[in-house]
Amino acid sequence: MKYVAVVCPKCGRASGARFDAKRHQCPYCGAVFQLNDASIIAMGNAKAVREAVARYNSGEFRQL
């Protein structure tokens, strides 16, 4: 199973989703968005995506 780490366009936090999912609901703000519309920051197995999400949400990837 392949996963992606996506950034919510509404609240800007990352979360993991299945690679083959079309839509994803943000666990933080509840927004539902298309994976096509969101920035994907990582792709891979569940562990890699979980780590990418944790890193992103801790601020290391943030550029602003």
With CB under 5 A, what is the number of residues at the site for Zn ion? 7
25 binds Zn ion (CB under 5 A): no
Is the CB of 10 or the CB of 18 nearer to Zn ion? Answer: 10
Name the token pair of 19: 């690679």
Which of positions 1-20 make contact with Zn ion (CB under 5 A)?
8, 10-11
Angstrom distance (rounded) from CA 44 to CA 23:
18
What sign results for the dihedral spanned by CA atoms 29, 34, 35, 41?
negative
Positions touching Zn ion (CB under 5 A) are: 8, 10-11, 26, 28-29, 31
